[in-house]
């Protein structure tokens, strides 16, 4: 189902870019014939090689960067979910008066993250993210107010405080990943560079319009496909390849 959805989303973009490129080629050929372009074939070939190489390097760099950021976001989510599960497990050894409100606060936090915060991160809703983060304040208050009596409780309390700090750090990392975006200047360069590269194909001297249209449309399709992937992966918590809430859902199942 996921693969079918990817195809359904990609096809209009890839085919649309190809058709626009072919239409632009057809319009240019109404004004400039292959014979008129033939004397400049060597110059255009060298120009296309230089532009294509520069754009390919830039595109490879951007793809590597957004893919790395996407994987880092997944790691942050896994780490945070693990910290929540570990903290919940540690509280099992605390007195009931402290354990119950702490575990209830952790359960509310995980439920809010899964049900609300993923959408809030996708939309950049800072108010919702701040409100959900306050569920952790209740956990901190419970740990801060707890006065352990036995050596076992003191050990568990100290470890719980450490886990809470790790959980807060993991949450901060996840939210930072959700806010990270490519600079507008780089995005503009990618799109303008792609259009310039495809439009430069119009300057080639190819006698057959069909062959010229095929290579131009194929280049436009490839560039538009990669640009779509870059745009989707740049926002790790929305789109087709968004980071899953599964780690939190797995952690929630272990809550009693």
- What pTM was computed for the model? 0.82
CA atoms within 13 A on the CB side of 81: 21
- Reduced to 3 states (helix: H, G, I; strand: E, B; else coil), residue 232 is helix
* Residue-level pLDDT at 142: 84
* Residue-level pLDDT at 16: 93
Say if residues 94 and 156 touch (Cβ distance below 8 Å).
Answer: yes
* Residue-level pLDDT at 90: 86
The pair of three-digit structure tokens given for residue 132, joined into one six-digit string: 């959900």
124 backbone φψ class: left, alpha, beta (φ>0; ψ -120 to 50): left
* Residue-level pLDDT at 210: 93
The pair of three-digit structure tokens given for residue 232, joined into one six-digit string: 């989707």
- Nearest alpha-carbon partner for 139 in 175, 112, 174: 112
DSSP 236: T
10-residue stretch averages of pLDDT, the chain, 256 residues long: 70 92 93 87 88 93 93 94 91 83 91 92 89 87 79 81 91 91 91 94 91 95 93 86 89 81
* Residue-level pLDDT at 33: 86
* Residue at token pair 């360069």: 189
The whole-angstrom separation of Cα 86 and Cα 164 is: 10
């Amino acid at each position: 189902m996921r693969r079918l959805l990817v195809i359904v989303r990609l096809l209009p973009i890839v085919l649309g870019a190809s058709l626009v490129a072919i239409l632009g080629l057809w319009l240019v050929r109404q004004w400039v014939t292959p014979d008129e372009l033939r004397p400049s074939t060597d110059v255009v070939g060298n120009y296309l090689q230089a532009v294509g190489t520069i754009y390919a390097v830039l595109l490879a760099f951007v793809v590597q960067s957004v893919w790395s950021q996407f994987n880092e976001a997944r790691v942050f989510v896994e780490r945070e979910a693990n910290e929540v599960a570990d903290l919940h497990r540690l509280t099992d050894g605390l007195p009931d008066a402290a354990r119950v409100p702490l575990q209830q606060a952790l359960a509310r936090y995980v439920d809010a993250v899964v049900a609300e915060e993923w959408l809030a991160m996708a939309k950049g809703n800072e108010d919702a993210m701040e409100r959900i983060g306050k569920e952790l304040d209740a956990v901190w208050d419970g740990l801060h107010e707890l006065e352990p009596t036995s050596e076992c409780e003191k050990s568990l309390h100290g470890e719980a405080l450490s886990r809470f700090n790790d959980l807060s750090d993991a949450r901060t990392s996840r939210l930072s990943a959700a806010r990270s975006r490519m600079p507008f200047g780089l995005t503009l360069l990618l799109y303008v560079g792609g259009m310039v590269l495809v439009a430069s194909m119009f300057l080639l001297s190819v006698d057959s319009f069909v062959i010229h249209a095929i290579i131009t449309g194929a280049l436009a399709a490839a560039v538009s496909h990669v640009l779509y992937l870059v745009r989707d992966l740049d926002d790790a918590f929305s789109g087709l390849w968004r980071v899953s809430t599964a780690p939190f859902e797995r952690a929630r199942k272990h809550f009693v």
